[in-house]
A and B are shown apart, each in its own frame.
Chain A
Amino acid sequence: MRPMTTLGISAILLLLQNGAAAHAQATAAALLKKGFLQCGVNTGLAGFSQPDSHGEWRGLDVDLCRAVGAALFGDARKVRYTPLTAQQRFTALQSGEVDILARNTTWTIARDTGLGLNFVGVNYYDGQGFMLPKKRNVKSATQLNGAAVCVQPGTTTELNLADYFRAKSMKFKPVVIEKMEEVLNAYFAGRCDVYTTDVSGLIAARASRAANPGDHVILPEVISKEPLGPAVRHGDDQWFDAVKWSLFAMIDAEELGLTSKNIDQHAKSANPVIQRFVGATGEFGKMLGLDKRWAHNIIKQVGNYGESFERHLTPLGVERGINKLWNQGGLMYAPPLR
């Protein structure tokens, strides 16, 4: 669909919605009645959300949606995906077109407050970088004065880019294209000298789109911090909790050593921490308004955070880096399930 049409429809939905908050209070109940979860994802970013050769959506963000599906319905397949461009994503969530926005979206104060969103946590710690052809022989971002830079609109990337060049008193020519495909086409065709986005996106683009990935280098400067995380609408705290703890369960499971392969076996163990996790003791499922086996279902059907990462990002050549667990020197730290 044309971006304008989607945006227009979303704006109209905002006009027509009757008492958004009153409805929002019961997102989970409404979804159970509807029978599936509507998840807003990227139109195609390898490793985060991209349809595979069978048309199935795959990626780190997609796994978060599947985890919520498993927690809510006991079935990770009860999710439908709405591919959204950077510009469409917030309106789509605000207007109720999607129930979760899991689209490599940076958590910022403006979005958390002014846009009426609640970020549930961080599922990937990222930062913005620059990629350009190796033959340019550029070693540092400080040498980019006068470059034409390909960038997607409506992103923090676009703002960081302007800030960075302003701070360094350098000039650049933005080439701003909305669709990921088109902006990458423009970069690989040589319309711009440099492509900028989050480093994970650069790696994914280089691995999946470049004719010869070795011809492109990612500059050492990381000019921003980009905590990417899923978000929900303001106004339904219970739904916010359910999505938040679906993410935390995946991270906690990795810490506990629970995987999709071994969780059935571990469920029988006497370890009280694992007993609470799989719902054999405690009433966490009920407190979240979910089934008591919610966390068990997530890990059984989707896997823990590390499994998801290795399935989608490791094959692209993305290192775990700062996305390792906190006890292994990374930033991934989830509150305990107790």
Chain B
Amino acid sequence: MLGHLDPAKAGAGLSQFTGAFLGPRLRPFVYQVLLAAALCLGIWYLVSNAAQNLFELGIAAGFGFLSREAGFAIGETTLLSYSAADTYLRAIVVGFLNTVRAATLAIVCATVLGVVIGLARLSTNWLVAKATAGYVEVLRNVPLVVQLFFWYALITESLPGPADALHPFPGIFISNRGLVFPILKLAPVNGWLVAVIVLALIITVAWILRPSSTPTSRDKRVGIPIALAGGLAAMLFVSASAGIELDYPAFSGFNFSGGGSLSPEFTALFLGLTLYTAAFIAEIVRAGILAVDRGQFEAAYSLGLTQRQVMRFIILPQALRVILPPLTSQYMNCTKNSSLAVAIGYPDLVSVANTTINQTGQAVEGIAIIMLVYLSISLAISAFMNWYNRRFALQGSRR
């Protein structure tokens, strides 16, 4: 059969085939398929190799351990209650919530502090500018873990024991066991209601305060949301006062019981993360403002706007475009840096997952959970910030 083929024709067919196969349309597609195949093969190799190794070493594998009893205690919990009789899964969720609590609070406070310091560093007041410059240089050049040790040592070494706790206001005690304070005790249903209303209130206030590029559009939409916020606040007060009761802390035996508390571990982590991240955010804010063309300032002043108005309506909206992308990175860094908590004993995700790994011996699964959770948090921050960023991008440059 082969002998009957016209060689010229066959050659043409082949080149046509290869031409189509490696032509400009198909080529990238082929490469991508090859790359994906290589990636899958690589992952398959790693997974099967690890499974084989674990099997041969007689190490248990799989995620079945998550439903077993954890057996270890966790020092502090956020929202979710936990005891040693609960499962590993619940322990890890508790760790995750502790991470979210520390990271969220640190991000919010670092942003506020960072903006203030960033603006202050541009101040014409010599002392303010130099002091904030000093802050930035010191804080961002000392490794975070050292700062955490510093704050932790400061709290535990310098404050008195719980029996001789500082007692500045009724019901408030400061000692090396942390800060304890009275809390509102609410029926559980009320608690959830309050949480929902507080959330709604925060969103409403954020909506009112959202920056815009023109002063006029701001005035138009301010009425309804303010009424809404007022209404929510009133609801909050009414619903909370229905079952209101103050829970005072009291010292008995070894420690304080009752009331709310901030542990030294959390406080040290929160302080360290906030002050460290704020130094970076300050520089980002400064860079953003300096990136706005000088002509913008001059033009704004020549329109007769006050300094406040210039900042609020002309400079900050433009600076925000420069600020947002690096700010996103800082938020992610702050979240990931919170894993240093393990050094000072704050029970974050990494700390709890490490203990789980150690008690169950399932390192690969444990590390996979840690990576997956941090990846999810980072992608969520990134998605939110990208959405926010798009709203401020120049109209023409929208992609």
Contact = CB atoms under 8 A, between A and B. Distances in A.
Interface string A84-101: 001100110010000000
Contacts of B46: 15-16
A91 B71 CA distance: 20
A86 B355 CA distance: 9
A147 B58 contact: no
A190 interface: yes
A177 B253 CA distance: 24
A189 B155 CA distance: 10
B354 A87 contact: yes
Q: Which of B53, B84, B357 has the most CB of A within 10 A?
A: B53
Interface in B170-197: 176-177
A145 to B, nearest CB: 6
A144 B210 CA distance: 53
Nearest to A171: B257
A21 B53 CA distance: 7
B386 interface: no
A186 B155 CA distance: 10
A261 interface: no
A172 B342 contact: no
B67 interface: no
A176 B75 contact: yes
A213 interface: no
A173 B57 contact: no
Contacts of A114: 59-60, 360-361
- Secondary structure at chain B's binding surface: helix, strand, loop or mixed? helix
Given A148-B254, A175-B345, A191-B176, A10 B363 contact: yes
B347 A176 contact: yes
B359 A154 contact: yes
Contacts of A234: 56-58
B30 interface: no
Given A148-B255, A153-B354, A174-B75, A14 B363 contact: yes
B112 interface: no
A146 interface: yes
A154 B74 contact: no
A87 B345 CA distance: 13
B355 A94 contact: no
A293 B354 CA distance: 43
A35 B204 CA distance: 69
B162 to A, nearest CB: 9
B350 interface: yes
Nearest to B360: A114
B343 interface: yes
B358 interface: yes
A52 B236 CA distance: 63
Contacts of A91: 357, 363
B367 interface: yes
Interface string B256-297: 010000001100000000000000000000000000000000
A312 interface: no
B367 A11 contact: yes
Interface string B133-156: 000000000000100010001001
20 contacts: A7-B363, A8-B367, A14-B363, A15-B49, A15-B364, A18-B49, A87-B358, A114-B60, A144-B254, A147-B254, A154-B354, A158-B355, A159-B71, A176-B345, A176-B351, A176-B355, A177-B345, A186-B345, A234-B58, A235-B57
Given A166-B84, A189-B176, 17 more contacts: A7-B367, A8-B367, A10-B363, A14-B53, A14-B54, A90-B363, A94-B361, A114-B59, A114-B361, A146-B254, A148-B177, A176-B355, A177-B343, A177-B345, A178-B343, A182-B149, A190-B176
